Chains A and B, each alone.
Chain A
Amino acid sequence: MNSIDKIVFGDNQFFGINHMSQEKAQQLAEKFHDINNIFRIYDSAIECGINSIMLNSNDRAKEICKHFSDNPSKYGHLHWYPSIPYPHKYANMVAEKGILPTVNEVLFKENTAGGILSMLAKGSTAVLTRDAIKLMQMLIDVEMKMFHGLDIKVVFLQNIIVDLILGFDIREIFEEYCEHIRRRYKALPGLITQNMPHLINKLKSWNIKEVVICSSFNKIGYLMSPDIQSYIDISKNNRPDEFQLMAMSTLASGAIPSREAYEFINAQNLQSVVFGASSSSHIKETISLINLN
């Protein structure tokens, strides 16, 4: 399995996401309303030595992707780690319309004329055979369109989907997701989860390997089910050629001071850290503190 980048620059700070405080999230959303402020932070991150970016396929990601793919001489060296889908879009649509009308709208209304014929052809098959796998592949392809032209290293499936399907205990969906990402995008399949130990044990029992697993990993055990000790133990015994582990929420939304947070992270058997920061000094500080083996 290709090695992933040790430090990946995340995107929550740009889109009004903060698990600890809505107020903080709103302040950041205001700051980054002007997309040029986002590009400026990316540029300073790149100056600090960042060359890999995780980006969720949300409403604003399209414009961000275009900015980077339009400037290959400046940005062509960057590795991209998309995460799909944008869960809130689906959550609101499902609340309003129901599950099947949502799938229908995403697949058929949000596609340009060029893509819709092939989508329709596949779609009718999908509906007729009631085949979740085809439906899933089509939804992935819709979400991935905006990343076209970028060098994609890992495609992550968001935790809300991963953990839902993990609860259902369905091997085929994980298998087919990984296969589709490898075949179609020539990238590593990635799974984001809040149940990392359980997911890894399941994947092992299903003989699914060479997957990147991204999960919360922090000193206070925040968003780490069932508990912090299980995370420490399973990562200690993990072989990176089977699963590469990426830590997110390393500061637990700011509850842990950076130095203390990364002293803990550096002592674990992890292959990568994704972090977000909204100023050049924070980016520099974080990079200097991360020291994975």
Chain B
Amino acid sequence: MVNIGIIGAGRMGITHFSIINSHPQVIIKAIADPSGIVLNLMKKYISELNVYKEYKEMLQKENLDAVLVCTPPNYHFQVIQECLNKRLHVFAEKPFTLKYEHASELADSFRKQNLVNQVGYVNRFNDVFIKTRELLNQQVIGKVIRFKSEMFSCTILKSDESSGWRASRENGGGAVYEMAAHAIDLVNYLIGNPVKITGSSLNTIYSKNVEDAVSATFLYEDGMSGTLYINWSDESYRKPTNKLEIFGLKGKIVADQHSLKIFVKDPNKTYNLIKGWNTLYITDIFKPVPFYVRGNEFTRQLYHFVDSIINKNAYSNQCSFEEGAKTMKIIESIFSDFEINGTI
């Protein structure tokens, strides 16, 4: 059995609790959060669960194998270091850390200690994006020349005097850390890591101190390039949506979480594609998960984490800290590019 502790009982902590509690080889031993109200509620209804206001106390007292880190992002580095000291496997929510240096240090340490490490870039476990990666790896649209990675949501629609961690970049708030991170990770996952970031711009729409929209251009050594555009104040979207358009020498892919359109210059027998446009819907490519709370990808990512622990397979994780560090590096480049070149 894998004994798990959860640090942070916000929206993601609560969702992950529900999902991973369904895994037949998991016992959730304890949860830590500074908010007494949420903890008391949990303790009241789940008697065998231990609750802690101080995560360090939880790490000391509980006999854990693994921890899910779901605190606001500015605490991640410190919390994950403490977990490392206790030699625990760690799943951390995105954006992992707020500095590339920290991200890369953690990636090195976990690799050396052979501990399972995973970042919560959930799109890597989405049925459509898994299929997209397979098609790209099999060269179905040939060598990629250009791409667009976009993400939209209606998360921030009012200027609110918020005092929480989301209101400042220092604490990990803003559309870059919270949303662009997903669209950037998708680029890393599907296309690869750029060598240069240029043309970055950030806009505030409703927020006072953080950006609500961001765009940037990614450049690659082999001449490939792509653009990133994220807006979390776009009321025309009901749900957060990632959109990708990838142009290759033999065709084009247009994908979001629910569907994938592929245009090919020549028919492809392996994938049953006719010349021209082909549409694959999620209903054509989904694989059911053992327990559903918020979409197949959320279940799949946590089961992958636990299964990596059970199979003692730290190296083949689909979304390791090393992958998380790559995204952090790009985020830092966007901020510094904007600072240097982003104003008139």
Contact = CB atoms under 8 A, between A and B. Distances in A.
Contacts of A172: 45
Interface string A154-193: 0000001001111111101100000000000000000000
Interface residues of B, number: 44
B291 A195 contact: yes
A198 B166 contact: no
Nearest to A221: B288
Given A97-B160, A130-B41, A198-B291, A222 B21 contact: no
A167 B239 contact: no
A173 B45 CA distance: 9
A168 B17 CA distance: 7
Given A97-B160, A167-B17, 12 more contacts: A96-B166, A97-B164, A100-B35, A130-B37, A160-B294, A163-B293, A165-B18, A167-B291, A168-B21, A172-B45, A220-B283, A223-B292
Given A96-B156, A96-B160, A226-B289, A22 B256 contact: yes
Nearest to A251: B283
B272 interface: no
B22 interface: yes
A234 B338 CA distance: 57
A54 interface: no
9 contacts: A21-B258, A94-B11, A99-B14, A166-B18, A167-B19, A168-B18, A195-B292, A221-B288, A255-B284
B259 interface: yes
A96 B239 contact: no
Nearest to B158: A96
Nearest to B39: A130
Given A22-B256, A100-B37, A224 B293 contact: no
Interface in B158-175: 160, 162, 164, 166
A74 interface: no
A20 B281 contact: yes
A97 B155 CA distance: 10
B315 interface: no
A194 interface: yes
Interface in B13-63: 14-15, 17-19, 21-22, 35, 37-38, 40-41, 44-46
A163 B18 contact: yes
Nearest to A102: B11
Nearest to A163: B293
A17 B237 CA distance: 11
B241 A99 contact: no
Interface string A66-110: 000000000000000000000010001011111110000000000
Contacts of B40: 130
Nearest to B154: A92
B267 interface: no
